[in-house]
Each structure stands twice: as C-alpha cells, then as structure tokens.
Amino acid sequence: MTQTLEPTTGTEPSAARTRVETWLADFEAALAARDVDRAAGLFATTSFWRDLIAFTWNFTTVENRDGVADLARQTRESTGATNSRITEGEEPEEADGVVTAWFRFETAVGRGSGLLRLNDEGAWTFLTTLDELKGHEENQGTNRPRGVEHGAQKDRVTWRERRTAELEGFGRDREPYVVVIGGGQGGIALGARLRQLGVDHVVVDRHARPGDQWRSRYKSLCLHDPVWYDHLPYLPFPRNWPVFAPKDKIGDWLEMYTRVMEVNYWGSTTAKSATWDDAKKEWTVTVDRDGEEVVLHPKQLVFALGVSGKPNIPSIPGQDVFAGEQHHSSQHPGPDAYKDKRVVVIGSNNSAFDICGALWEIGADVTMVQRSSTHIVKSDSLMEIGLGGLYSEQAVEAGVTTHKADTIFASLPYRIMHEFQIPLYQQMAERDKDFYQRLEESGFRHDWGADGSGLFMKYLRRGSGYYIDVGAADLVADGKIPVKHGQVTELTETGVKLANGEELPADLVVYATGYGSMNGLAADIVGDEIADRVGKVWGLGSDTTKDPGPWEGEQRNMWKPTQQEGLWFHGGNLHQSRYYSLYLALQLKARAEGIPTPVYGLQEVHHTS
Ligand SMILES: Cc1cc2nc3c(=O)[nH]c(=O)nc-3n(C[C@H](O)[C@H](O)[C@H](O)COP(=O)(O)OP(=O)(O)OC[C@H]3O[C@@H](n4cnc5c(N)ncnc54)[C@H](O)[C@@H]3O)c2cc1C
C-alpha cells in the first residue's frame, strides 16, 4: 500500500484535519465518559481496531462496532486516552473517500501513537500503539548517558569492568529479570531494546558467536529481503550497505551490533530445561555454559528460537541403507564438494531453489523433487511492486522512514490484508507472464496462495510454501534442473524411489523439507505440558493449508502474553523482529516495574502444534 506523505500547506485547517481532530476529541470524550456505545458508534459498520499494548496490554484486533464496544467496555476502568492530537508535521490527507491521519495520545502509564483511516461512516481502521512508559523513557538525545563521571574517584570502575561484572554475575550474585533463549537476530534485537529500557536480561545461544546462525547456513545464501526492510532497531545499516546482504556479512553485523548495543549475550550456552514455580512466579532455567551448568531464576522467559529453527526431517524407509550422503538443508554446507555428483533435493521452496541453483552452477547433476505446489515470485517484481512503496530508496526519499513504513504495514488488519495483496500479485503475474508460462510448461506446479494473495500472506499464515526467485527458477523453467513430482516412498542403497516407482540415482540427498513450529523447540525445554498449554506458535487461523482455523486476528502467541504466565515468543523476519520487539520489550519493562498490565482478550488455544 502506498501513500503520499507530503504535508500540505496553507493556513486554514483542511476539512480532513478538522474531521480527524473532531473524531479524536469525540473518541477521547467517549472513553472518558465510559460511554462504550458512543465510542463504538464512532467506528464504521465494518471496522478494525488494532491495538498493540496501549489499551489492551495485548496484541489485539477487534472488528466492527461490537468488537470495539467489547474492547472499550473491558478496558474502560484501566485505560483511557488523553491529549489525543494529530502528529506534528503530519497533515491528514484524503484520497478515494478515506482520510488518513497520524496521531499521538497518552494513557495513564504511557505515550502512544497510531494511524487512523476514516471513511464516510467513521473509523475504518484504527491502529494504536504504546511507544513508551512514562517515567521509564529510553535515555536518548539530550538524555543520553554521559559515559563518564568527570572528576577524581578512588577505585574508579571502567565501562569494561562494569560490563564484565554484569555479564559474569548472572546466576552467581544476581538474577536477570528476563532470560531470552535464542540469540539470533530476534533475541539480539530484543536484547538491545531491553538494554535501552534498563531491563536486566541475558540472551543465551548455543552458537559460540552472535551471527553464527546465519554463518552456519548454506554458503550461497544472501538475504532474500532488501536492505530497507532489514534494519535492526536503533542502528540502521549504512547507506552503502548492499541491497541483498550475504549471510556472513549479516552474521558480522549481528556480532558487531550485539557488542555496541551492549546486549548481555552468552554464547556457547545451551538451554537445557526451564520449569515454572507458580508460587514464586519465577522460572528455573538450567543452561550449559561452555561445559558449566548454570541455573538462572528469571521472572520472564522469552523463546526466540527461530520460526525456522527446528528442521523437519522426514522419516523415510531405507534411510539407513542409502550408501550416499544425506542431510537437511539447514546442514547443507554448500556446493563445493558435489561437482559432478548426482544430487536429489527433496522440496521445492526457498532453500531447495537456493541449494539447487548453487549445485547447478558448480556442475552437479541435480534433480528437484516437488511434493506440493510452490509460489514463486521474481525478486525484482517483489521489490518494486510488493515492497517498493514502503521499503525502497524511493520511499526513503519520499520521507517514508522505516518506522513509518512499519506502522503503515501494522495498520492493515490481517483480516483484510489479503485484499491489498491480491492486486499486487496480479500485477506481478502480468509483468512476468512469460516466465510463468515457461515455468508451467516445464511441469513445475505453481500457485499464488490459497486466495491469490501471494508470498507475504503465505509467510504470515504458514511460514513456508514459496521461493523469492533470484535466478534458480529460470533453471527449472528452462529444464536445466529437472523436476520430479510426488512423495518419496523409499531410499534404496543407490538413490531415491518415488511413489510412481521411478528411481532417481543419488550420491547426495538433501531434505529441503522446511522447519517445524517454534512450539516443538520450546517443548524440548519446558516440556510438553507447558508447550501444549501455550499451543501452536505462528499463523493467523486463516483456515488455509497449514494454518487451521478458527480465525485468531493476530499471529498466534507471537510477542504477546501466552497461556503460560511469564512465557513469551519472539522472532520472525528482520522487519517483524525490529518492529514488534519494542512492544514485547515494553510489556516486559512494565512487569519489571510493577506497572499493572491487565490483559484484554488473552488468546485461546485451538491447536497444540
Ligand atoms: C535459508 C533461510 C533464508 C532466510 N532469508 C531471510 C531473509 O532474507 N530475510 C529475513 O528477514 N528472513 C529470512 N529468513 C527467515 C528468518 O529471518 C531467519 O530464519 C532468522 O534467522 C530468524 O531469526 P531468529 O532470531 O528468529 O531465529 P534464528 O536465527 O533461527 O535463531 C534462533 C537461535 O536459537 C538458538 N537455539 C535454539 N535452541 C537453543 C537452545 N536450547 N539453547 C540455546 N540456544 C538455542 C539457535 O542456536 C539459534 O541461533 C530466512 C530463513 C532461512 C532458513
């Protein structure tokens, strides 16, 4: 979705400005009067209020006047809004009968902002976010830390000494308030937020160095998303950063970032178990830190284990008799050792294509096995049509900051997001129609998602089923990488047998079969009982493949309170990790400070994994 964000000039308030000011004042007054019906009446018949912790201490989207009334009724004793106003320098604008306005407001405990879209009936979409807690603002700008105490001091403690004491003290002379298990980009970004908010935390990862999870992936991997989409909080990539960063470069950036953002990071540390003491309201987390057992007692435990964390390795008869090499895509070292070898890659999504492409380049005889259809979109088309309005050099030049882009994205309710996506993918289909025709003629089974809404909805719903084409799809479309169809029924000593009886000789079999739910990784640490209580992680309840209903309204269990007190999930792509880490960190900070956080609409659990 693109918007013009240039302010208009003139001295008279525009009709759009007057309408927004009136709406904000009416809404504030209705909440102050506890007049739920009046508040709900300010919304259109079909409408969406998405709140990120400002009113609900939850990630919630309510729909229509009934939903608004319910949210307002249940939160009215704890939350209201004051000082609601149009954001300075952001003139509301009107297009196609919809007025769009950026606004700010305050609650009793914090300051927030949002994006409002009014149609002729009232509010159509309304996003509210809590951005900071009063009295606990981040020390930035004029409030930045001094870094030094001038003057003469006996036994002066240096920054380095303080940092070492802090890092080494956990589990010995002090307890972290938060333990984050998983120090990939998600855990690191959250650690940076917690540091800025002054929350005692430690991020643990079984890898030795921050960034190792990217370094350990197959060697040809570069980010599939462009730089404008990928910034980390506080410290954007420099202006000469490549559009698609190679994985080792991202690994190095994450390592540097961890250090300069003063994230408390324990590498070579594997979380073994975590148990919850309901009387003490505290976790006991046992970790193996480089061979030493350390027990931590945090109040809050965050799993940042990776949505693509637990490899799905199929169990196939004959895996024990196959004489060649076999491994999951996450263990694939890259193509170098496989020149002139026969390789069968089982799977037809991102990793399968990247691996097949690199193997073909080095001269391996590679075959892809497709089991179900895949959505493919050309990287250039995705960049220009799908992301360009918000995340591109042109968007930056038009004044769309990363935060603005993230907020616009967040303001689109999941329920109708596909309606915005479908036309974009129709444009891509038209633009690349020759490619799709060749692909179809090659026999490759291609889809556009359950409702034609393409890649991003597939990602949000199931986190799989697509490939952003950076070249390898042409090899398939041109028949240079042959594709076979159907389930693999058996591995023989010399190859792979398909359901139709065909046998594919192989020296190497790669299982590019994706990843399991983060719930499965969590179960290994907290046990099945807690994992089942919390339920499936990720997905929207869209009732499409791998995302069973009922409709959830928000992504299951991500960044928000779960059915297990003190247990949270964080992750996603770099964009989600950047944006939502703020709201997760603020939830943790509020609890650390003893600020009441009554949760509206705690999600029910419909699926265990
Ligand atoms: C091949 C591939 C390409 C991708 N390309 C992109 C892209 O272009 N852009 C994008 O935004 N996203 C991309 N993603 C998706 C996603 O952004 C990455 O998977 C990213 O690494 C997720 O970050 P994370 O921190 O959530 O999880 P991870 O990076 O998976 O980190 C999880 C960490 O948890 C640790 N861990 C697990 N169990 C334990 C334990 N018991 N104790 C201690 N530590 C533990 C692991 O060591 C790991 O470091 C890609 C994913 C894959 C697999």
Rounded CA gap, 381 and 388, in Å? 9
Find, among 154, 135, 151, 152, the residue nearest to 143 by Cα: 135
pLDDT over threshold 80, residue 10? no
Q: What is the model's pLDDT at position 609?
A: 78
Q: What is the model's pLDDT at position 401?
A: 96
pLDDT over threshold 90, residue 4? no
Q: Which pLDDT tens digit goes with each residue over 166-207?
A: 999 999 999 999 999 999 999 999 999 999 999 999 999 999
Q: Is 310 helix (H, G, I), strand (E, B) or coil?
A: strand
Q: Which pLDDT tens digit goes with each residue over 470-479?
A: 889 999 999 9
Q: Is 28 helix (H, G, I), strand (E, B) or coil?
A: helix
Cis peptide before 550 (omega within 30 of 0): yes
Q: What is the model's pLDDT at position 11?
A: 64
* Residues across the chain: 609
CA of 323 to the centre of ligand 1 (A): 31
Which residue CA neighbors atom 2 of ligand 1 most closely? 351
Which residue CA neighbors atom 30 of ligand 1 most closely? 306
Tokens coding 575: 């964009």
CA of 224 to the centre of ligand 1 (A): 14
Q: In the structure, what pLDDT confidence band is assigned to residue 481 with cuts at 50, 70 and 90?
A: very high
What are the phi and psi torsion angles at 327 (to 5°)?
-160, 160
Q: CA torsion sign, 152 to 155 to 160 to 162?
A: negative
CA of 253 to the centre of ligand 1 (A): 15
Q: Which pLDDT tens digit goes with each residue over 408-428?
A: 999 999 999 999 999 999 999
Chain Cα centroid distance, residue 18: 36
Which atom of ligand 1 is found nearest the CA of 217?
Answer: 1
Q: What percent of the chain has pLDDT over 70?
A: 98
Q: Say if ligand 1 is within 6 A of residue 213 CB.
A: yes
CA of 147 to the centre of ligand 1 (A): 33
Q: Which pLDDT tens digit goes with each residue over 35-65?
A: 999 999 999 999 999 999 999 999 999 999 9
Q: Say if ligand 1 is within 6 A of residue 219 CB.
A: no
Which atom of ligand 1 is found nearest the CA of 572?
Answer: 26
Which residue CA neighbors atom 36 of ligand 1 most closely? 182
Question: Which distant-in-sequence residues (6+ apart) come within 8 Å of 495 by Cβ?
Answer: 322, 324, 342, 344, 503, 504, 505, 506
Instruction: Work out the average pLDDT over 389-399.
Output: 96
Rounded CA gap, 120 and 342, in Å? 63
Q: Say if ligand 1 is within 6 A of residue 574 CB.
A: yes
Q: Is 443 helix (H, G, I), strand (E, B) or coil?
A: coil
Instruction: Work out the average pLDDT over 117-144.
Output: 97
| DSSP H helical ranges for 382-413 | 393-397, 402-410
Q: Say if ligand 1 is within 6 A of residue 355 CB.
A: no
Q: Say if ligand 1 is within 6 A of residue 184 CB.
A: yes
CB 580 within 8 Å of CB 570:
yes
**DSSP one-letter code for 385:** I
Q: What is the model's pLDDT at position 390?
A: 96
Instruction: Work out the average pLDDT over 432-446.
Output: 96
What are the phi and psi torsion angles at 129 (to 5°)?
-130, 145
**Helix H or strand E segment including 143:** none
Q: Say if ligand 1 is within 6 A of residue 221 CB.
A: yes
Rounded CA gap, 515 and 310, in Å? 5
Cis peptide before 333 (omega within 30 of 0): no
Tokens coding 397: 């030049």
CB 249 within 8 Å of CB 265:
no
Q: Are strands 342-346 and 365-370 parallel, antiparallel or unpaired?
A: parallel
Terminal Cα-to-Cα distance of the chain (whole angstroms):
33
Which residue CA neighbors atom 10 of ligand 1 most closely? 573
Q: Say if ligand 1 is within 6 A of residue 186 CB.
A: yes
Q: In the structure, what pLDDT confidence band is assigned to residue 217 with cuts at 50, 70 and 90?
A: confident
Q: What is the model's pLDDT at position 5?
A: 40
Query: Burial code of 541-567, b = ≥16 C-beta within 10 A, e = fewer?
Result: bbebbebeeeebbbbbbbbbbbebebb
Query: Burial code of 180-210, b = ≥16 C-beta within 10 A, e = fewer?
Result: bbbbbbbbbbbbbbbbbbebbbbbbbbbebb
Per the prediction, the chain carries an average pLDDT of: 95
Q: Say if ligand 1 is within 6 A of residue 364 CB.
A: no
Rounded CA gap, 479 and 484, in Å? 11
Q: Say if ligand 1 is within 6 A of residue 308 CB.
A: yes
CB 358 within 8 Å of CB 341:
no
Which atom of ligand 1 is found nearest the CA of 269?
Answer: 43
CB 350 within 8 Å of CB 224:
yes
Question: Which distant-in-sequence residues (6+ apart) come within 8 Å of 153 by Cβ?
Answer: none
Query: To the nearest 10°, the Cα dihedral for 294, 297, 302, 307?
Result: 30
Q: Which pLDDT tens digit goes with each residue over 307-329?
A: 867 899 999 999 999 999 999 99
Q: Say if ligand 1 is within 6 A of residue 304 CB.
A: yes
Q: In the structure, what pLDDT confidence band is assigned to residue 13 with cuts at 50, 70 and 90?
A: confident
CB 117 within 8 Å of CB 127:
no
Q: What share of the chain is helix, strand, coil (3-state, %, to 5)?
A: 35, 25, 45
Tokens coding 129: 């976010």
CA of 347 to the centre of ligand 1 (A): 19
- CA triplet 292, 296, 301: central angle to 5 degrees? 125
CB 317 within 8 Å of CB 488:
no
Q: What is the model's pLDDT at position 300?
A: 98
Q: In the structure, what pLDDT confidence band is assigned to residue 267 with cuts at 50, 70 and 90?
A: very high
Q: Say if ligand 1 is within 6 A of residue 405 CB.
A: no
**DSSP one-letter code for 405:** H
Which atom of ligand 1 is found nearest the CA of 306?
Answer: 27
Q: Say if ligand 1 is within 6 A of residue 227 CB.
A: no
- Taking only Cα atoms into account, the Rg of the chain, rounded to an integer number of angstroms, comes to 25
Tokens coding 290: 């480089």
**DSSP one-letter code for 382:** I
Q: Say if ligand 1 is within 6 A of residue 129 CB.
A: no
Q: What is the model's pLDDT at position 7?
A: 42
| DSSP H helical ranges for 411-471 | 414-431, 433-441, 454-461
Rounded CA gap, 539 and 141, in Å? 38
Find, among 208, 178, 182, the residue nearest to 193 by Cα: 178
Find, among 139, 241, 254, the residue nearest to 187 by Cα: 254
Which atom of ligand 1 is found nearest the CA of 213?
Answer: 49
